[in-house]
Structure 1
Amino acid sequence: VLRKKQRDLILGLLFDAIGMFSFAIPFIGEFSDVVWAPVSGLLMAWMYKGTKGKIMGAFSFLEELFPFTDIIPSFTLMWIYTYIIKK
């Protein structure tokens, strides 16, 4: 469990960084969000199985798709919910 917990945290931080990186590049960044949004949603659903993964996958998809919402660290928030709050 500890290994999965660490893996999910590291991957989550990486995926959040990728999502936020597009925010740093004007115009090009918003285009890259169109590509990253479905990937982000699928990765979230893959990392967190079940209903919560599907719900957060949809949230992550929409969060990356809408402009100026890249600042939300959805993977990190899901990790906190899964391993700290729900524990």
Structure 2
Amino acid sequence: MTDLVQNPKKDRKHIKLILGLLFDGIGLLSYTVPFLGEGIDVIWAPISGLLLAYMYKGTIGKVAGIFGFLEEIIPMLDFIPTFTITWVYTYIIKSDDKK
């Protein structure tokens, strides 16, 4: 507990992971509704893109937002976990580059 108080960025990192998994799950829900699924994606695609751009600032957020929008709007690409991939890139791959 004291680690979270001393390092609030670590807490935000875990919250972003949980939210990302939730949002990736929402993106997969379109597969559960036959024939209406792609229509749902038309609504979810811009929301997904905006959420990615909001959660991850700067170039990473912009690129992820565009990719997330395209992934949701193009049929049959919904299975790609864009939020989780962005989290892994931001907190694992990019942080390894800093070391």
What's the TM-score once normalised by structure 2's chain length?
Answer: 0.86
Q: Is the 8 A contact 1:44 1:53 kept in 2?
A: yes
> Alpha-carbon deviation of 1:26?
1.6
Structure 1 unaligned blocks of 5 or more: none
Instruction: Provide the residue aligned with 1:12 in structure 2.
Output: 20
> Alpha-carbon deviation of 1:24?
2.1
The percent identity for this pair of structures is 60
2:51 maps to a residue whose letter is L
Q: 2:67 & 2:10 partners in 1: Cα distance? A: 26
Give the 4+ runs in structure 1 shifted more than 2 A: none
2:35 aligned to which of 27, 32, 49: 27
Task: Note the aligned Cα RMSD (angstroms).
Answer: 0.6
1:70 aligns with 2:81: no
1:59 aligns with 2:67: yes
Q: Is the 8 A contact 1:42 1:57 kept in 2?
A: yes
Number of corresponding residues: 87
Structure 2 unaligned blocks of 5 or more: 1-8
Greater relative CO (CA pairs within 8 A, separation 6+): 1
Q: Secondary structure at the match of 2:46?
A: helix
Q: Is the 8 A contact 1:23 1:68 kept in 2?
A: no
Q: 1:39 & 1:30 partners in 2: Cα distance? A: 15
